[in-house]
Structures are given as structure tokens and as C-alpha cells.
Chains A and B, each alone.
Chain A
Amino acid sequence: MSHLLRSHAPISEASWTLLDQEARERLAPALAARKLVDFSGPQGWAFSATPTGRTTALESPAEGVSARQRRVLPLVEARSDFAVARQELADADRGAPDPDLEALDRAAHQMAVAENVAVFHGWPGSITGISEATPHDRLPLGQAPDDYPRAVAGAAERLLCSGITGPYGLALGRGQYRRVVETAEHGGYPLLDHLGKILEGPIVWAPGVEGGVVLSLRGGDFLFESGQDLSIGYDSHDRDVVRLYLEQSFSFRVVTPEAAVLLAPS
């Protein structure tokens, strides 16, 4: 039996399909890291650590024997709880097209933000984020959106100087992304298209990111390993609500710290 205990929930097959579909639709637009870094797995809930290939020397247990201990990167578990009114699910089973799943939507957004923050800015004590690992000085994005091309071009040039080839991707925080999308430069050329031409890669909306991050998409530089991919599990229920949760386990490591440049918000 899966540890998610879904079959214990008082939820019909049709409502499980509805909940899973709603979660997918809410998560996919906000999961910026998965659009830019290498993803492997899922390896399953029982998968506990990513091998690093590194070892630590140990004291010898006996004469004539040398010893080393393997170093691994333990997976983190992320969980976001939410509750759904049983009446809403019953109405959905009757064919109601507009069930209130706001709590699920909020949990999905929180989970996506947590994943983005972990990958781009780190998770203290567990994950070193891209902005923590990069040796490059952060570049200011500038006050006005018109300044953004200069910053993005500067980041791309800095990556080239480090021998990091493109194409490059750009993760932008909420405010910065909105400014890019709503701005047309002198002459009416959309800023989004201009930045895309500099990068030769995607510009993604990344809630949770502060400022922006330009990174290489050539592969092999940033590794996200999924244990259990995002799933909905069952916690408990009473007469009125079913308490559920969104959960995943993953590790993340930066293999090439030079392959990203942080753009600081102004």
C-alpha cells in the first residue's frame, strides 16, 4: 500500500481525478526550476539519498586496512497541508463545474514557491542554492525595465568569459517578470522578445525568486533529483472536511557554480 493512503480517504475516483488535475494546473506554471535545470527520477518514496561520488577518510579499524566513507546528499521532504470541504467534493461528483478548491490552489502555489526558493536561493542546512553557489558578483537589474537588457547581456557575457556556453535561461521573480511582459522598448519592440534573443532560451515566471537568475541550459550543471514526485496524500477527515497534503522528496546540487549569474533586484 502506498504511504499516501489515498484509498482510505472518503473521496471518489472522479474527485481524485479532479483534485489531481487541479493540482497539476496550479503547479505547472509556477514550477520554474523544472523548466531550467536537469531533472532525474522519480526514484520513489523509499529513495533517501543522492550519491555524490565523494568519500571521507576514516580511521583504520585494523592494521593494514584503510577506510573511507561514502558521502551522499540526503533528500528533503516538502509537504503542504490543505483541507477540502466534503460538500464541495460531493457537489463535484454530481457534476458541479465550479467546486471550491482554493485551499488546494494555495497549497500548490506554496509548494512551487518552496521548490523555486530551494533551487535558486537554497534551503538552510539542506540544499545549496544556485545564487549561494555562484562565484560571480551579482549584477543589478536596474530600476527601470529598459535597463534589463544591459544586465542580461552582461550576465551572458560573464558566462561566456567563464567558458559556459548557451543557450541561457532566465528565471525572474514576480515583479520583474510582470515588468518585462508589460514593457515595449523604444520603437515598440517587446522587451520579452529582446531578452529572449540575448539569451537564446526561455524566460520563466519564478515566484519566490528575488530578482533574476541567468543560467546555462547546456545540461549537466544543475541537477534536481526527485524521490517521490509531487503527489497528493490523505491525512484524516471528519464530517465536514477531508484533510489532504501535497508532498514530494528531492535533492538538488550545483555541479558547475560558474554556470549562473544572479541579477539583484533594485
Chain B
Amino acid sequence: MRDAQGEEFKHFSMDLEFLLRRTPAWREIAQGILFRSGDIVEHGEEAEAEALEGDGSGTGGAAGQGSLGIGSLRGSTR
């Protein structure tokens, strides 16, 4: 049971990293929450406000983080 629990935690971490690589705004929010001491809820609200609303768009959409999200193009020839 303990081994299975560790496996699931590893898979959860892998899923999280995959999603954060594809969505820079989520990555910015996560960086404001993870591996920090203090109030988790407060960190979450602050990080979200900075990442999404602090830019003035309030949506996190086109005017939000700004990355074109191109990343790796392995597997593409054109």
C-alpha cells in the first residue's frame, strides 16, 4: 500500500510538471505557492492575483503572461 501511494504521488508530480510546462500562467501561480513556508491559501490568492489580475487583463488570456507557448518542436518537420 505504501509503495502504491508513493507511485501515485510520483505520477501526480509528473502530471503537474507536464501541465505547468504547457501553461506559463499556471507555472507562475505554482511558483508562488509551492515550497514556501507560511499560509498556503494566502500564497495562492496572492500568486493568482499577480499572475492574472496584476497584468490588468483580469483574464489571463491574450494580454496575460504573453508567452507564445511554442516550446519544443520535436516531431515536427515543417
Contact = CB atoms under 8 A, between A and B. Distances in A.
A42 B71 contact: yes
A112 B62 CA distance: 22
A2 interface: yes
Interface stretch (A75-83, A92-100, A143-151, A222-230): A222-230
A39 B72 contact: yes
Nearest to A17: B62
Given A1-B50, A231-B67, A233-B66, 17 more contacts: A2-B55, A6-B66, A7-B56, A7-B57, A9-B63, A13-B57, A17-B62, A20-B62, A28-B76, A34-B72, A34-B73, A35-B74, A41-B71, A42-B67, A44-B24, A229-B67, A232-B68
Interface centre among B31, B64, B77 (most CB of A within 10 A): B77
Interface residues of A, number: 37
Interface stretch (A64-72, A153-161, A198-206): A198-206
Contact of B63 (A6, A24, A27, A228): A6
A4 interface: yes
B27 to A, nearest CB: 7
Nearest to A230: B68
Given A6-B55, A7-B55, A42-B24, A231 B66 contact: yes
Interface residues of B, number: 29
Interface in A8-50: 8-9, 11, 13-14, 16-17, 20, 23-24, 27-29, 31, 34-36, 39, 41-42, 44
B69 interface: yes
Contacts of A230: 67-68, 70
B41 to A, nearest CB: 23
A1 B63 CA distance: 11
12 contacts: A2-B64, A4-B66, A13-B61, A13-B62, A35-B74, A39-B72, A41-B21, A42-B71, A44-B24, A44-B31, A232-B68, A233-B66
A41 B22 CA distance: 9
A55 B52 CA distance: 39
Contacts of B78: 29, 205
A231 B57 CA distance: 17
A42 B75 CA distance: 19
Looking at chain B's contact residues, the main secondary structure is loop
B8 to A, nearest CB: 25
Contact of A2 (B59, B61, B66): B66
Residue among A36, A205, A230 facing the most chain B CB atoms (10 A cut-off):
A230
A24 B73 CA distance: 12
B33 to A, nearest CB: 15
Nearest to A204: B77
A249 to B, nearest CB: 12
A7 to B, nearest CB: 3
A139 B75 CA distance: 26
A42 B65 CA distance: 12
